[in-house]
Amino acid sequence: MSGLVLKDIVKSFGNFTAVDTANLAVPHGKFVCLLGPSGCGKTTLLRMIAGLEDPTSGAIMLDDQDITPVPTHKRNLGMVFQSLALFPHLTVGDNIAYPLRIRGASRDEQKKRSDELLKLIHLPGFADRPVSKLSGGQRQRVAIARALALSPRLFLLDEPLSALDAKLREAMQVELRQLQQRLGITTFVVTHDQREAMTMADLVVVMGQGKILQAAPPIEIYRKPADAFVADFIGMTNLLDAETDRAGRVSVLGQAIPDLVMPAGFTKAAVSIRPEDVHLGPVGGDSIGGTVTFVRDLGGTIETFVEAGGKTIIAVATPRERPNVVAGQQVGITLPADACVVLKS
Amino acid sequence: MKREAPKSIADYSPLFFPGLMLIVFFVIPFSTMIAVSFFLRDPSGFYTPDFVFDNYARFLSVFFGRVLAFSLMLAVMVAICCVAIAFPFTFLLTKRPRKVQTIWLVCLLSVLSLSEVIIGFAWSTLFTRTAGITNLFVFLGLMKEPVALTPSFWAVLTGMVYQALPYTILVLYPALVRLDPQLLEAARTLGASPPRAFFNVVVPALRNTIVATLIMVFVFALGSYLLPQILGRPSHWTLSVLITDQAIYQSNMPFAAAMAVFLVLMSLALVGLTLLVGRKENAL
């Protein structure tokens, strides 16, 4: 298959397995986010794609060619590091032109390409400035331009936006995504920020404890998480125990949920439901009875915390559909069956 | 935070102690030496206060000029050899596990506890014909028969490099440990082979450290006067040897002082020149 394929990649450091049998196929031109908590092996996986670490076993294929034994400097890739790793002794222009200089391009060619890239990252005329005189966001862009200088086959970024403040980070996410779409380059970004992944990715790869838990488009990850870990890691969710009674009906917190079907062979499972899918209404009927414990009104959204059967369920609503409840009030909770995802517990 | 300008004498009090140390241990001895260098020598006794240029005039001869040039050349060569050996060594050392690094550093520190005399005689034994390393080379079949390697210029150089190397490594170590390893990795992802990345990125990024280390080893080597005598011929004696000779054995303090002042001025000029060249290159 054309594109990047990871085959049974394992990486161990002594007794510790950082990456455990990772399999992944990414077609050309996709934007992939490796997402997971710290220490889940996502950076190690990215470093193996870059050739900065050798896998203990397994193979990395690029366009059906095994690149596992190819050293980093012959892989033709661009990488942006967490510390950015701009060369402090070179100017902005020389930093960007460094990969061309390595390959013996003439001074004119170097100048032409670095000017071109500076225009691309909206910093024209910055070529002669020293790197130390740039702001955080500008350094970020220079690091991206340097990585793209040779139009690489793979574009790798290791938590590239973590050093920026929240506002700039959001703007850079959009900018990075637009840049990637314009260039059509296969891109891997390591991040622990699920918002970042949702903003940029075509494909989100959720990792936990060295394993790839789910690889799917962002909205699918959000709507149909593969397991409780993914459901909990991506966005806010309510994880509730579900049980099947003798009649075959599925019930959550003692209340039967009509139309909710448990997969064959499951007697116990967990149900994940997103806070925005939880409906609050009057007590009675088919609803689960609960007590409101706290209301957080954030202006744009209203989060209501309801305690029911020893569990706290979070419901999120927009001001338009304001539930109008106060702490201490008894409410009925309705869980729409089509919004519930049944997970093996 | 804006700093206020000091108003009263009490505000300057933090400067008193370092100022006192500087005066007692530097300004007074150095001024005394400068003063003595203009005194008149009294062959029967010590010296009499005067203001004559005889001592400096005597220094301006081909002989002393040659010794001065040799001293400076030797110190420069020691500095270059030390940095050329220590820089790649320290770089590779920082890539090893922490435990290995500690063992190496402790061993290097223990070398510092050896006195110059012991180092000198150890090397002179190692360089002899009867018991030296050439016997080992003969045993290994690399040489036909053992030869004496001392006294010679190379023996002096080896001894001095050996003595200065631990200092060089200890000065370079903190800078190399702090160097962001991602700089090298970045160079590699951009297409530079590891050796190329080392010369393209590590060396220029630490240029100021390298220059500072060169100057330190240079100054250190300039003061050496035992090793040239133990391992070299009289033609390999440095100015420091002659200063010691004049001051202690010839009791000619004014002339020794004049030579010392001249040596200080020459090395200051050389250090200044190095910094000036460094600044010019930085500006480019």
Kindly state whether B187 is in contact with chain A, defined as any CB-CB distance less than 8 angstroms. yes
Q: What is the CATH number of the domain that holds A76?
A: 3.40.50.300
Residues A154 and A135 reside in one and the same domain: yes
Residues B189-217 have a mean pLDDT of 90
Closest alpha carbon within chain A to B188: A73
Residue B284 binned pLDDT confidence (cut-offs 50, 70, 90): very low
Average pLDDT value over all residues in chain B: 87
Question: How many domains is chain A built from?
Answer: 2
Domain boundary at A228, A245, A279, which? A228
Q: A288-297 and A302-308: which strand pairing?
A: antiparallel
Confidence (pLDDT) at B170:
92
Rank A162-176, A226-240, B21-35, B135-149 by mean pLDDT and report only the highest. Answer: B21-35
Residue of A13, A46, A72, A144 to mutate when probing chain B, most B C-beta within 10 A: A72
Q: What is the ipTM of this complex?
A: 0.79
What pTM value is reported for the model?
Answer: 0.78
Q: Is B88 exposed, middle or buried (0-12, 13-18, 19+ CB in 10 A)?
A: middle
- Record the tokens describing residue A296, joined without a space: 């957080």
Is the N-terminal amide bond of B228 cis, ω within 30° of 0? no
Reported as a single tens digit per residue, the pLDDT across A173-183 is 898 899 899 98
- Residues contacting A173, CB < 8 A, separation 6+: A161, A196, A199, A200
Q: What's the rounded mean pLDDT across residues B227-249?
A: 88
Domains and CATH numbers, chain B: 70-279 (1.10.3720.10)
Question: Is pLDDT above 80 for B102?
Answer: yes
Contacts 24+ apart (CB under 8 A), A115-124: A117/A145, A117/A148, A117/A149, A118/A92, A118/A93, A118/A145, A120/A145, A120/A148, A120/A179, A121/A145, A121/A179, A123/A92
Task: Tell me if chain A has a CB within 8 Å of the CB of B196.
Answer: yes
Q: Is the separation of the CB atoms in B116 and B255 below 8 Å?
A: no
Shortest CA gap B207–chain A (Å):
9
Dihedral class, residue B155 (left if φ above 0, else alpha if ψ from -120 to 50, else beta) = alpha
With contact defined as beta carbons under 8 Å apart, do A35 and A225 qualify?
Answer: no
Burial class (CB in 10 A: 0-12, 13-18, 19+), B62: exposed
Cβ A72–B189 below 8 Å, yes or no? Answer: yes
Task: Please tell me whether residues A167 and A24 are part of one structural domain.
Answer: yes
Q: Do A41 and A146 have their domain in common?
A: yes
A208 and A308 together in one domain: no
**B168-191: average pLDDT:** 92
User: Does A89 contact B at CB distance below 8 Å?
Assistant: yes
Query: Binning pLDDT at 50, 70 and 90, where does residue B247 land?
Result: confident
Q: Residue B282: pLDDT above 60?
A: no
Residues A177 and A149 in one domain: yes
Is B203 an interface residue toward A (CB < 8 Å)?
no
Q: Touching check for B201 and chain A: CB below 8 Å?
A: yes
pLDDT at B76 over 70: yes
Query: Distance from CA of residue A278 to its chain's centroid?
Result: 25
Determine the residue of chain A that is closest to B190 in CA distance.
Answer: A99
Q: Which of A89, A94, A100, A162 is the mutation pick for testing B, counting most B CBs within 10 A?
A: A89
Residue A1, chain B, CB below 8 Å: the answer is no
What is the structure's pLDDT at A1? 66
Q: Minimal Cα–Cα distance from B203 to chain A, Å?
A: 10
- pLDDT tens-digit series, residues B107-129: 998 888 888 899 999 998 988 88
Intervals of chain A under pLDDT 50: none
Final residue of a structural domain among A228, A250, A283: A228
C-beta atoms of B190 and A50 within 8 A = no
The reply to whether A189 and A319 lie within a common domain is no
Q: Are residues A165 and A277 in the same domain?
A: no
What pLDDT is attached to residue B281? 60
Q: Are residues A286 and A265 in the same domain?
A: yes
CATH number of the CATH domain containing A306: 2.40.50.140
List all residues of chain A from 148 to 167 with a beta carbon under 8 Å from chain B.
149-150, 156
- Co-location of A138 and A280 in the same domain: no
Residue A275 shares a structural domain with residue A149: no
Residue A88 near chain B (CB below 8 Å) = yes
- Average pLDDT of B138-156? 85
Confidence of residue B89 (pLDDT cuts 50, 70, 90): very high
What domain range includes position A281? 236-344
HEC assignment per residue over chain A: CCCEEEEEEEEEECCEEEEEEEEEEECCCCEEEEECCCCCCHHHHHHHHHCCCCCCEEEEEECCEECCCCCHHHCCEEEECCCCCCCCCCEHHHHHHHHHHHCCCCHHHHHHHHHHHHHHCCCCCCCCCEHHHCCHHHHHHHHHHHHHCCCCCEEEEECCCCCCCHHHHHHHHHHHHHHHHHHCCEEEEEECCHHHHHHHCCEEEEEECCEEEEEECHHHHHHCCCCHHHHHHCCCCEEEEEEECCCCCEEECCEECCCCCCCCCCCEEEEEECHHHCEEECCCCCCEEEEEEEEEECCCCEEEEEEECCEEEEEEECHHHCCCCCCCCEEEEECCHHHCEEECC
Q: Which of A280, A179, A270 is nearest to A228 (CA)?
A: A270
Co-location of A224 and A249 in the same domain: no
**Can you tell me which residue has the tokens 């590239």?**
A160
The whole-angstrom distance between A147's CA and the closest CA on chain B is: 7
Contact yes or no for B193 and A50 at CB 8 A:
no
8 Å CB contact of A98 and B182? no
Nearest CA in chain B to A74: B191
Interface test mutation site (partner A, options B189, B200, B281, max chain A beta carbons within 10 A)? B189
Mean of pLDDT values over B64-75: 90
Q: Among A175, A201, A228, identify where a domain stops.
A: A228
Shared domain for A314 and A178, answered yes or no, is no
Using the beta-carbon criterion (under 8 Å), do A88 and B190 form an inter-chain contact? no
